Amino acid sequence: MSRKKRGRIYFIRIGFITLIFALVLSVSMNYLSDMTYACEVRDNGYGLQVKYEKSQERGKLFNINNMAPGEKFTEVITVKNVGKESFKSLITAVNTSKQGNLLYHSLDFSIREGSPNGIVLFNGKLKDVKDINLGTLSTKKNKTYYLTLQLPADSGDEYQKKKAGFKFIITASANKGTSGGKDLKHGYDKTVKKH
């Protein structure tokens, strides 16, 4: 076999392997975007850390396939303050699905503090989780939260083969209001004086 033929065959093999790799990568990226439920932490310099109790992979929560009507899934997270100041933590859910809003708008969601039967901080639709206050966290302390996701029991056939993609954003924010309207992080008074 001549060098020229071997070069062409080698080039064709490399091209074919590259094409297969690109195809597999493209398919997996499209699949994962609808099935990955991430948790993004916005520390804002306060020392916020989040630990996932059950999650197989760091940063992923509620990686569920074939959820039946009425079925519930619970994930446990621990929010820690490893910083030098207290802060309040907030949680928001963001839709990342490429299949629209049907499932995202229908899922029931609750947050309980401390235990599965603890204080209810939120009980409603996943789509309504916007800046839910998880409470104040003092220096070197932590709190545990039970996040429960449920497909309503009366869900019909319109949900079959649907996927929901979403992420949670947990943010550390200035612990305002506990010292007469002063911003504790930046040390200035935000109180509005009336004349």
Return the pLDDT at 119.
Answer: 94
Is 41:170 a contact under the CB 8 Å cutoff?
A: yes
Q: Is the pLDDT of residue 190 over 90?
A: no
Beta bridge partners of 124: 109
Q: What value does the mean pLDDT take over residues 154-168? A: 80
Are 135 and 121 found together in one domain? yes
pTM of the model: 0.69
Neighbouring residues of 191: CB distance < 8 A, sequence distance ≥ 6: 180, 181, 182
Checking if the pLDDT of 36 tops 90, the result is no
What pLDDT shows up at residue 178? 42
User: What residue numbers bound the domain in which 54 lies?
Assistant: 37-177
Confidence of residue 103 (pLDDT cuts 50, 70, 90): confident
Domain count across the chain: 2
Statement to judge: residues 47 and 93 lie in one domain: yes
Q: How confident is the model at residue 98 (pLDDT cuts 50, 70, 90)?
A: confident
Q: Is residue 43 one of the residues assigned to a domain?
A: yes
3-state SS class at 84: coil
Query: Does residue 99 carry a pLDDT above 80?
Result: no
Say if CB 110 and CB 123 are below 8 A apart: yes
Question: Given phi > 0 = left and psi -120 to 50 = alpha, else beta, which region is 18?
Answer: alpha
Q: What is the mean pLDDT of residues 113-139?
A: 94
Do 72 and 157 belong together in one domain? yes
In a domain, 195, yes or no: no
**If you average pLDDT over every residue of the chain, what do you get?**
77
- Asked whether the predicted pLDDT for residue 187 surpasses 60, the reply is no
Spatial separation of the C-alpha atoms in residues 84 and 71, rounded to whole Å: 41
Q: How confident is the model over 43-56, as pLDDT tens digits?
A: 888 899 988 876 55
Of 28 and 105, the one with more pLDDT? 105
Residues 81 and 118 in one domain: yes
CATH of the domain at 93: 2.60.370
Residue 167 has pLDDT above 60, yes or no: yes
